[in-house]
Amino acid sequence: MEALLYRHLVRELQPMVLGRRLERIYAPRLGLWTFRLQPGEHPRHLLFSHHPESVSMTLSSRFPENPATPTSQVMGLRKRIQGKRILEIRSDWVHRRLAMGMGLQEPTSWLILDAKKGVGLENQAPEWGNDASSWPSLEQIHGDSQIWHAHPQVSPLMRQTLQNLPEDLGNTLLNGFASGLPPDSFFVYQSPSSQSFACPWILPEPIRRTSTETRCSTAFMAATLLADEIFFQDKTSVDKLATVRVHKRKKRLLKNLDADEQRLLGFVQLAERAQLIRRNLYQLPAQVTGRSRLERITLPEDDDTMVDLVLDAKLTILENMERWFRLADKGRRGLVHVQRRREAIKTEASPAHATVQRTTPEPKNASHRKRKLPDRKSISLPLHRFLSSDGFVMLRGKNQKANHALLTKTASSFDFWFHAADGPGAHLILKRDFPEQDVPEQTMIEAAGLAGLASHFSSSDSATIICAQVKYVRAVKGTPGLARVDRVHQTLHVTLDPNLERILRVVEDGKPY
């Protein structure tokens, strides 16, 4: 959703929701939210989506089908703000963020709807700088493809539009944007091969191409058309949306791999500098030895040309040489992984194939256990070893010593650490393959459940579990098993299932692994 469309949409929605009580909260699918308000003269359901490629928000008389079991985040929000009224609204339209002050007589909690980060809850009113009076000139927009870093409201679509207009029309359109006044019409563009989008200006023909244009008199009407496609999809729309997302994801990942490849190639080239120092090590200029610390040195190449090398003055000449050799080895190893990753991305299954795989029934005892086993380095530790339904390894300590070793020696800095809130319990580590790897919500719930079953919540029906990245958890020296958390990633409220340990425990050769 365009930032300018979002700006006018919030203005139109504000009088429709202010003063209404929040009756119920649902999360139909990942990234989709339904907030049911008390009945009134306006539609009852506030729909919000924060998928990167499909941000939407509107009020609707319809609502999508809700799951039988709400997520821990939904349960937490229900507990804190359900039944309260929307007393105040603040927006940062430039970044597409909305804050609703919830309370009975005055705001005591702030529900945040963020197009990038999703749904959150704050105790204090956000201090957003939503004044976008600083607009770049047309010349600046034409000359800087990254103008959106300094001016987020200048989206790629807006930039393309201005580039396809004569200078006088471009300036007129830009001045209209900067004025903040609502336009006469809003336009929705729909195509069978791509995702629909809307903007408060008419697109030039080269950009519009074969898309069908629908003119709307209000931002609310345009936003409703977008939301209908996202929240009330038929199978064709789902497949189209999934294809678009996978294509964009592949393009983004391949672009990042190209950048990594160039960086690693630079490392490999450092071997030539190191070899040059090695060949001339015993022919260094007078008063210079391998232990000298210099900012630069000039050495002869094989063809008698002189090469000027820039050194790290904090290191000796020998230490610089050794560092370059190490970086070159790192670069060669990294290039192998980059090539493997590129091939994996290019051969990734299409959305349609993935859907077939997900809907194919599997035996109850299959559960991916042969695909991935715990790290063999941790076998000597007294641990319980589990495998989530999504194939993630989970390790839980059996005693204080194991908890300490699990946190300080076995876990990687980007792994997730789970522990019961406000009381004793075992440490549980959820292993990840790389720092930015996404963990499915079902696996997070299973990990929290396993941590809860080995804690002071074990005799209860539910548990509150905190999750943090291992790099933000510090073991307390001299007290095995005790840890200090600097930053909590997520707090989960889960129902405890006594059978979960038996279902997820890794078994090898008929015995618990």
Alpha-carbon distances, residue 336 vs 142, 257, 265, 324, 433 (angstroms): 39, 12, 11, 19, 17
Kindly report the number of other CB atoms within 10 A of residue 396's CB atom. Answer: 23
Q: Is the dihedral of CA 172, 177, 180, 185 positive or negative?
A: positive
> What is the rounded distance in angstroms from the CA atom of residue 441 to the CA atom of residue 433?
17
> What is the rounded distance in angstroms from the CA atom of residue 65 to the CA atom of residue 231?
9
Backbone angles phi, psi at 387, to 5 degrees: -130, 120
pTM recorded for the entire structure: 0.50
- Residues present in the chain in total: 513
> What is the rounded distance in angstroms from the CA atom of residue 31 to the CA atom of residue 335?
35
> What is the rounded distance in angstroms from the CA atom of residue 57 to the CA atom of residue 328?
50
Residue 431 gets the label, from left (phi > 0), alpha (psi -120 to 50) or beta, of beta
- Read out DSSP for 104-143? SSSEEEEEEEETTTEEEEESS-------------HHHHHH
Backbone angles phi, psi at 188, to 5 degrees: -110, 130
What interhelical angle do 219-231 and 235-279 show, nearest 10?
A: 80
Alpha-carbon distances, residue 418 vs 394, 406, 409, 425, 467 (angstroms): 10, 12, 16, 10, 5
- Read out DSSP for 15-60? HHHTT-BEEEEE--STTEEEEEEPP-SS-SEEEEEEETTEEEEEEE
Residue 233's contacts (CB-CB under 8 Å, 6 or more residues apart) are 241
Using alpha carbons, select from 406, 511, 507, 512 the residue that is nearest to residue 451: 406
Angle at 56 between CA 52 and CA 62, to 5 degrees: 135
Strands 186-191 and 511-512: unpaired
Asked if residues 95 and 152 have their Cβ atoms less than 8 Å apart, the reply is yes
Helix (H) or strand (E) holding 87: strand 85-92
Give me 132's structure tokens. Answer: 């976008």
Digit-by-digit pLDDT tens for the chain (513 residues) are 888 888 899 999 999 999 999 999 998 888 888 999 998 888 889 999 886 567 889 998 888 888 888 888 889 899 999 889 999 999 888 888 899 999 988 889 999 998 888 898 988 888 876 555 678 888 888 888 888 888 888 888 888 888 888 888 888 888 888 888 888 888 888 876 667 788 888 888 888 777 888 888 898 998 888 888 788 765 445 555 566 667 777 888 888 889 999 999 999 999 988 888 888 887 787 778 888 888 888 888 877 788 888 999 999 988 889 899 999 999 999 999 888 888 888 776 554 444 333 333 444 444 443 444 444 445 567 888 998 888 889 999 999 888 888 988 889 999 999 999 988 999 999 999 888 888 999 999 999 999 999 999 999 999 999 999 999 999 887 777 788 899 999 999 999 998 999 888 876 544 444
